[in-house]
């Protein structure tokens, strides 16, 4: 109450000699007045959450064929270039299958050629040639399958990969689809944290000012984060949503999946008394309320607007109701204005 009284006294002093603006005739000669555009006053709040490092891509490598594991040149904790050998199955049986398919294809081709020549001499039925051609095509498919199985007896790294796990040693029999090793793509990392539903519901992309991660082993560094995705369903117990952010890996630090981080979000939040106006903009009304003159650019005229104010601050008077962000008000020359008067901004 004391602060509101101070604001009202300031308005009264600045409006001394002001008559009832609704009863005086409107003067058409434009009067000069200083105009400003008001904006909402926002505060930047920083939120902290515990986060966990994860690989952006994780692959359990497995064979599509089975057999004895003959090569496994990888070590856990090592990095493989793209195309590097991860593991290989003994290729003996697969090579023999390819050779057999090649022989069968060659025999089928010879049989087809022979029957085509005999057909020209009307020595055999056309159906026999068609059967020979079908057998030739079948042997081509079998050779392609044998060659594919031979290729599948080797696994190479699909990307620059960090070897996280090796599940077997050499000379064991591997079944198709059985994981041999886990490879991680660490060129980029994910930082996953759980956000409460209230934060997710009240935050828009435009409201995120900055996002970064901090690690205990690098207390003076900030690692910039970029939004990647968030889970669409809340955890049934904690009612939180898992949010994933990405971060470029660094050469200085060996950051690995499973490490803990502190995720910090700087968010734009509307502060109390969202619009601050100069005290000179506030004028009293005949019924002892407070108001401002709102400028309409289209008509170049001003109109009275009743407002609700908060406690006087060092930067001005907070307006809690009556004004919208983007509106223009008179801040100098307000004492001599009337409703509907044309003004010339300066």
Q: Distances in Å between the alpha carbon of 274 and those of 33, 164, 266, 316, 321? A: 24, 52, 19, 12, 9
Length, in residues, of the chain: 346
Class of domain 46-57+185-271: mainly beta
Residue with token string 């956000």: 195
Task: Name 283's Cβ contacts closer than 8 Å, sequence gap at least 6.
Answer: 11, 14, 15, 18, 290, 291, 292, 293, 334, 335, 337
DSSP lists the bridge partners of residue 165 as 182
Contact between 101 and 140 (Cβ < 8 Å): no
The rounded distance, in Å, linking the Cα atoms of 321 and 324 is 8
Three-state DSSP state, 114: helix
Percentage of residues in the chain having pLDDT higher than 90: 45
Of 35-39, 112-116, 225-229, 315-319, where does the model show the most confidence? 225-229
The rounded distance, in Å, linking the Cα atoms of 212 and 120 is 80
Find the largest Cα–Cα distance for the chain: 127
The rounded distance, in Å, linking the Cα atoms of 119 and 288 is 115
For residues 342 and 9, the model is more confident at: 342
Residue 96: predicted pLDDT: 97
Residue with token string 């101070």: 6
In this structure, what token pair is assigned to residue 275? 């619009």
Task: Name 122's Cβ contacts closer than 8 Å, sequence gap at least 6.
Answer: none
Q: Distances in Å between the alpha carbon of 313 and those of 6, 18, 277, 318, 344? A: 11, 26, 10, 7, 29
Q: Can you give the residue ranges of every domain in the chain?
A: 2-41+272-345, 46-57+185-271, 93-143
CATH number given to 93-143: 1.10.287
DSSP H helical ranges for 254-346? none
Contact between 245 and 232 (Cβ < 8 Å): no
The rounded distance, in Å, linking the Cα atoms of 205 and 268 is 10
The rounded distance, in Å, linking the Cα atoms of 140 and 126 is 22
CATH number given to 2-41+272-345: 2.40.420.20
Tens of pLDDT, residue by residue over 61-89, are 999 999 999 999 999 999 999 999 999 99
Burial state string for 278-290 with b = 16 or more CB within 10 A and e = fewer than 16? bbbbbbbbeeeeb
Task: Name 131's Cβ contacts closer than 8 Å, sequence gap at least 6.
Answer: none
Element housing 118 (H / E): helix 92-120
Q: What is the mean pLDDT of residues 89-101?
A: 96
**What mean pLDDT value characterizes the chain?**
85
Least-confidence region, from 16-30, 108-122, 319-333: 16-30
Residue 293: predicted pLDDT: 87
Instruction: Please state the φ and ψ torsions of residue 109, each to the nearest 5 degrees.
Output: -65, -40
Of 6-20, 140-154, 307-321, where does the model show the most confidence? 140-154
Tens of pLDDT, residue by residue over 296-321, are 888 888 888 888 877 776 667 778 78
């Amino acid at each position: 109450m004391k602060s509101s009284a101070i604001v009202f006294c300031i308005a009264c002093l600045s409006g001394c000699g002001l008559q009832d603006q609704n009863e005086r005739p409107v003067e058409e000669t434009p009067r000069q007045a200083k105009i400003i555009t008001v904006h909402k006053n926002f505060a930047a709040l920083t939120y902290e959450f515990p986060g966990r490092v994860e690989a952006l891509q994780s692959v359990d490598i497995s064979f599509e064929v089975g057999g004895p594991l003959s090569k496994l040149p990888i070590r856990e904790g090592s990095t493989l270039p793209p195309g590097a050998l991860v593991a290989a199955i003994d290729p003996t049986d697969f090579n023999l299958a390819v050779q057999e398919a090649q022989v069968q294809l060659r025999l089928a081709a010879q049989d087809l050629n022979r029957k085509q020549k005999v057909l020209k001499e009307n020595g055999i039925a056309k159906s026999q040639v068609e059967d020979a051609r079908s057998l030739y095509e079948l042997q081509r498919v079998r050779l392609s399958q044998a060659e594919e199985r031979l290729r599948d007896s080797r696994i190479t790294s699909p990307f620059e990969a960090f070897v996280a796990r090796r599940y077997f040693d050499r000379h064991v029999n591997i079944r198709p689809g059985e994981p041999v090793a886990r490879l991680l793509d660490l060129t980029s990392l994910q930082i996953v944290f759980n956000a409460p539903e209230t934060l997710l519901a009240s935050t828009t992309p435009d409201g995120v000012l900055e996002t970064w991660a901090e690690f205990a082993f690098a207390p003076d560094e900030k690692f910039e984060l970029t939004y990647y995705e968030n889970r669409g369903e809340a955890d049934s117990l904690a009612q939180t949503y898992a949010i994933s952010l990405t971060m470029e890996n660094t050469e200085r630090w060996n950051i690995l999946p499973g490490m803990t981080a502190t995720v910090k979000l700087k968010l734009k939040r509307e502060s109390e008394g969202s619009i601050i106006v100069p005290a000179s903009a506030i004028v009293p009304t005949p019924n002892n309320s407070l108001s401002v003159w709102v400028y309409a650019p289209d008509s170049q005229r001003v109109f009275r607007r009743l407002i609700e104010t908060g406690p006087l601050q060092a930067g001005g008077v907070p307006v809690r109701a009556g004004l919208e962000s983007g509106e223009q008000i008179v801040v100098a020359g307000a004492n001599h204005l009337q409703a509907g008067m044309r003004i010339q901004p300066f």
